Chains A and B, each alone.
Chain A
Amino acid sequence: MSENQGKLEYVPTTCPYCGVGCGLNLVVSDGKLVGVEPFKRTPINEGKLCPKGATCWEHVQSPDRLTTPLIKKDGKFEEATWDEALDLVASKLKETSDKYGPRSLGFQVSCRTPNEDCYIMQKFARVGFKTNNVDNCARICHGPSVAGLSLSFGSGAATNPFEDVLNSDLIFIIGSNPVEAHPLAGRRIAQAKKKGIEIIVCDPRYTPTARLADTYLRYNPSTHIALINSMMYWIIEENLHDKAFIEERTKGFDELKETVAKYADVEEITGVPTETVKEIARRYATAKNAVIIYCLGITELTTGTDNVRSLGNLSMLTGNIGRPGVGVNPLRGQNNVQGACDMGAYPNVYSGYQKCEVDDIRHKMEDLWSVTDLPEWYGASLTEQIDQCGDPIKTMYILGLNPVVTYPNSNHVMKSLEKLDFLVVQDIFFTETCQYADVILPGTCFAEKDGTFTSGERRVNRIRKAVDGPGESMEDWRVFVKLAEKLNLPGFEFETAEDVWNDLRRVTPSMAGLNYERLNRPESLHWPCPTTEHPGTPILHIGKFSSADGKGNLFGIEFRQPAELADAEYPFTLMTGRLLFHYHSRTQTGRAAILHQEVPESYVQINNEDAKRLSIANGEKIKLSSRRGEVETLARVTDEVAPGVLMMTMHFGTGAVNLLTNDVRDPMSKMPELKHCAVKVEKITEA
């Protein structure tokens, strides 16, 4: 330490927050983090940062960090050694598995954690206990993108890089608010506007992104399919579809055409006049290059996968795929939501989306991992695992997630976790979920370990260790190495994060070319990248689609209403969203002084007219209730939402929106309906 006295070290790394993957320098002095400084050399954000990125170091050295393993004894947590804690975890996992079989275990990993942690956890679950009950929280954000885009294009990832919007002639943004949720991708939209590129924003809410638009279109919440079908109807009706592209590169046009024929006029469903639909349809279809950007407004619904496929339809109908300036791009909410899925922390695929159900693939993985009897069955997804707590899931291992706050229907989550025989939570803070744990393991955060995050544009960005973790905390991948050692599992003899990554490369053809040496360059690389000579693939589907037959699939998709509509008893539609100033359940951003000051507590946006009718003043504390729970929160009276529509953010543990949200799932992707439920609003009367 003393030789570093007064030294100032810059450690270039990747921001731990959203899926844009901004580069930044952590500043280290005397072995302590002292700040963040711009990393101007990175092409992703050129040194620029949003308020979250600029303060991302503040939580790292918080006195609230978990510093030692904790074991619950008689309802109280007591400090333990790693040996004691890991012996207990290993024995409980083994005991449960021996007694109840592979479906009795559940493994959940956060998209916040590096690829190396995600990869090793799914390998541990599959090799150690022959279970596919492993999932990550993409399930409750972009699971429908993985499912939908795979069905449409053969690959469940964004087609084009963020910066590529500058090559476009028209940007069509739907259900996405990048200025707040992905600010440095939002910057690209602002740059495009300066360049004179046309911007259309469709959103039930007049967001800061909508303010950048040339055309803002408000539609009724969760009516995307009707809106997009209608656009496609008018594109076909006016003969603006790309016949050559449809003919050469796609299947299913007739089915699509037949379906959309019913959607000429959708004003009753969407609230959008037909002339307006026609106009935006024309503009999208006639732009030389048009790109679609979407986010959770599309995915977090029971129609999530169909919504995504509808956007796939729209892009292929007009030939807007497979070259610069076009494409369909989901903006990923978490730093590693792309990577967690890529790593195979998913109940039906190994890394690189290699399907467990395919015998050849399973046997290949058995060979590469030197094991036998890997399971072929589709494991339980994230919220299915919650439903299965107690039966058949007895023991659960949660890495870096806080389901009590972030999963839908919190009351159900809490009750379910109580039914477990044994719960392991590995995290950096004592979260709301930790209370339900039997063992808590102190992990390390992005600044304390080496690894990689894969951003929303499929770019694999390095993170680098800047400081040691606090106390006894351990790099998360290393915890699994130690557990594997205790359980005598083969194939976990890793000494560095790079060793784990190289094991991933060994079993994953689409990422085999991505060695750390190449990833260390600020440009890094976009997968697929099969060999160390391959230049990476910034744009997907050039010439042919990634599907088995190389064709894109057009689908006829009917509009369906969300599971729970506003009615006489619960007359408001509640949507959820995110804030510029916070990230998820605020375990990190709540500990950055300025972010906490910007927005210290939960609020609900309510339309002026509704507020007036109910005599609710701006800033007044009101009560919201749904069929599942109730919360008190502050009213923010605004015309940003339409009458009858409310918007709350997901960030707050007090006044938590997920006490209200609906956990009913999209049948295809198992996505719960976080963005749409019915609530009622009441004034709080003084007792």
Chain B
Amino acid sequence: MVAKGDMVYAWAADAAVQEKGECGGAVSALLKYALESGKVDAVLAVKKGADLYDAIPTVITDPAEIAETSGSLHCGTILMPKLIKKYLNGAKDMKIAVPVKGCDAMGFYELAKRNQINLDNIIMIGLNCGGSVSPVSARKMIAEKFGVNPDDVVKEEIDKGQFIIVTKDGEHKGISIDELEEEGYGRRANCRRCKMKIPRQADLACGNWGVIGDKAGKATFVEVCSEKGADLVNGAAQAGALATEAPNPKGIEIRGKVENAMFKLADKWRAKDFGELGEGKERLKTIMEETSRCVKCYQCIDQCPICYCEECSTKKPHLVAPGKLPVDFMFHLIRFAHVSDSCINCGQCEENCAMDIPNALFMHALQVDLEEMFGQKPGVDMTLPILALVDEKTERKRLNDTGDDQIFNIFINK
């Protein structure tokens, strides 16, 4: 029996699941058990699309299909919680288990705060994440830096500071991430700055860091982060789906070291990226110049885990003139004002920007400044943002009914 705060080595009891899954298949076993036991109605996970560079989400209700989602896909850069909000009614009428990266977990909290997702219906199985690589840049990197035809790669992984590929002929080739990134390859820019490496705000935090000794590569390090997480692990163990053992104390230490090393690397990238962005007017000038390329594809809004309003201010003609290029800077100011205190640096606004505007960099820089000023840390728990958060429709009705123009009427609420 495990409880919140415990750590275990875990692996699938079923040999086939072990074989298919990563590091002993513990996550696959937990997902399968969650479905079989009726703890959830569905699992939302990613599986291979066109090939191993293409991750696509899939909703699974048949436990037998869990195998399709086994194994890691470092080129999978989709954000799960926004998909649940958009396409699965915010999990308001079904229970869903979801494997989550750090950014996914943070996104769940931010959308839950805004009443867009019912977190009670979600089981988050956290996955340690050192970062992900956009598919096209991964292929370019493999062709140009590894000298390998990307179509010949059958597996990729990020381990011990290296990006490692395995070819169809069984050849392993690894290059250090530092080296790759110095030359402009490697992880997405937001991932480099990310410090949510072990997502402890999920129900479980799972990964291979700290699995040593005879269990290395054969078990998953699981940190139990909530009662819900403990319940799932205990249930799976009792049902004979999951085997566990106490972790090697040395392994726990190593896991901490890996995480700390990742933090240091992220700090280095933050210093570099934010440094280059400059301060004050210089920063504003850069932002204005870069955003002047905007073609209003609205992907920075559609894909953002903070944005949820049905009546978006960027679409109000008195704020942003419709149908006009260059787009009024107000478009971007509205986003900064509405998102920056809660930005989780998931990178979607940048990766999906039609004109390669470094949107995530701008927003993340603002968020870090605001966090320093106000101590507001987004994405880790249900603490509301700096300004009182209101339900959009209720607030609009209140403003209309009273003629008040004080949005977020924090004085009355307090």
Contact = CB atoms under 8 A, between A and B. Distances in A.
B87 A48 contact: no
Interface string A577-618: 001110000000000001001110000000000000000000
A50 B355 CA distance: 9
Given A8-B59, A49-B354, A183-B295, A597 B322 contact: yes
Nearest to B303: A38
Contacts of A187: 354-356
A48 B54 CA distance: 15
Contacts of A37: 78, 83
Contacts of A550: none
A35 B354 contact: no
B315 to A, nearest CB: 7
Contact of A46 (B44, B59, B134): B134
Interface in B51-69: 51, 53-54, 56-59, 61
Given A522-B50, A594-B315, A54 B297 contact: yes
Contacts of B322: 597-599
Contact of B295 (A10, A29, A46, A51): A51
B166 interface: no
A220 to B, nearest CB: 24
Contact of A580 (B53, B325, B351): B325
Contact of A49 (B50, B54, B299): B299
A683 interface: no
Residue among A7, A40, A194 having the largest count of chain B Cβ atoms under 10 Å? A40
Contacts of A521: 50
A7 B59 contact: yes
B50 A594 contact: no
B354 A8 contact: no
B338 interface: no
A6 B59 contact: yes
A7 B315 CA distance: 31
Interface string B31-54: 000000000011010000111011
A27 interface: yes
A48 B354 contact: yes
Interface in B68-87: 75, 77-78, 83, 86-87
Contacts of B280: none
Contact of A208 (B75, B135, B299, B326): B326
Contacts of A34: 86-87
A179 B87 contact: no
Contacts of A7: 59, 61
B352 A10 contact: no
A8 B88 contact: yes
Nearest to B60: A7
Given A35-B87, A54-B302, A180-B325, A6 B61 contact: yes
Contacts of B16: none
Contacts of A534: none
Contacts of B155: none
Given A8-B83, A522-B54, A190 B355 contact: yes
Interface string B327-367: 00000000000000000000000011111100000000000
B136 A41 contact: yes
A23 B339 CA distance: 29
Contacts of B302: 54
B94 to A, nearest CB: 7
Contacts of A183: 295, 297, 354-355
B323 interface: yes
A35 B295 contact: no
Contacts of B325: 179-180, 208, 580
B215 interface: no
Interface residues of B, number: 45
Contacts of A25: 56
B283 interface: no
B298 A179 contact: no
B356 A190 contact: yes
Given A25-B56, A49-B299, A54-B297, A598 B354 contact: no
B250 interface: no
B59 A10 contact: no
B246 to A, nearest CB: 39
A522 B292 CA distance: 31
Interface string A414-436: 00000000000000000000000
A165 to B, nearest CB: 14
Interface in A2-48: 6-8, 10, 12, 25, 27, 29, 34-35, 37-43, 46-48
Interface class of chain B by DSSP: loop
Interface string B271-283: 0000000000000
Residue among B134, B299, B326 having the largest count of chain A Cβ atoms under 10 Å? B299
A46 B298 contact: no
Given A8-B83, A48-B299, A597-B315, A41 B354 contact: no
Contact of A48 (B77, B297, B298): B297
A51 B296 contact: yes
B352 A41 contact: no
A319 B352 CA distance: 37
A599 B323 contact: yes
Contact of B87 (A8, A51, A184, A194): A8
A344 interface: no
Interface in A168-197: 179-180, 183-184, 186-187, 190-191, 194
A40 B326 CA distance: 26
B293 interface: yes
B287 to A, nearest CB: 15
Residue among B78, B293, B295, B315 having the largest count of chain A Cβ atoms under 10 Å? B295
Nearest to A194: B356
A211 interface: yes
A10 B50 CA distance: 11
A29 B353 contact: no
Contacts of B352: 38, 47-49
Interface string B290-311: 0011011111001100000000
Given A179-B325, A521-B50, A522-B54, A54 B299 contact: yes
A46 B351 CA distance: 9
A6 B87 CA distance: 9
A173 to B, nearest CB: 16
A597 B61 CA distance: 39
Contacts of B292: 211
A40 B87 contact: no
A40 B297 contact: no
A37 B58 CA distance: 13
Interface string B98-126: 00000000000000000000000000000
Contact of A35 (B56, B59, B86, B293): B86
A179 B83 CA distance: 29
Contacts of A50: 295, 297, 354
Nearest to B57: A8
A604 to B, nearest CB: 14
Interface string A508-536: 00000000000011100000000000000
A10 B323 contact: no
Contact of B136 (A43, A180, A212, A579): A43
Contacts of A12: 49-50
Nearest to B84: A8
Residue among B51, B59, B75, B94 having the largest count of chain A Cβ atoms under 10 Å? B59
Interface string B126-165: 0000000011100100000000000000000000000000
A477 B51 CA distance: 30
B62 to A, nearest CB: 10
Residue among B88, B292, B303, B354 having the largest count of chain A Cβ atoms under 10 Å? B354
19 contacts: A6-B59, A6-B94, A8-B57, A8-B87, A10-B49, A37-B83, A41-B53, A41-B136, A46-B136, A51-B295, A51-B297, A54-B297, A183-B297, A186-B355, A190-B356, A521-B50, A522-B51, A597-B315, A598-B322
Given A47-B351, A579-B323, 5 more contacts: A25-B56, A39-B54, A41-B54, A41-B136, A594-B298
The 3 closest A-B pairs by CB, nearest first: A41-B54, A599-B323, A598-B323
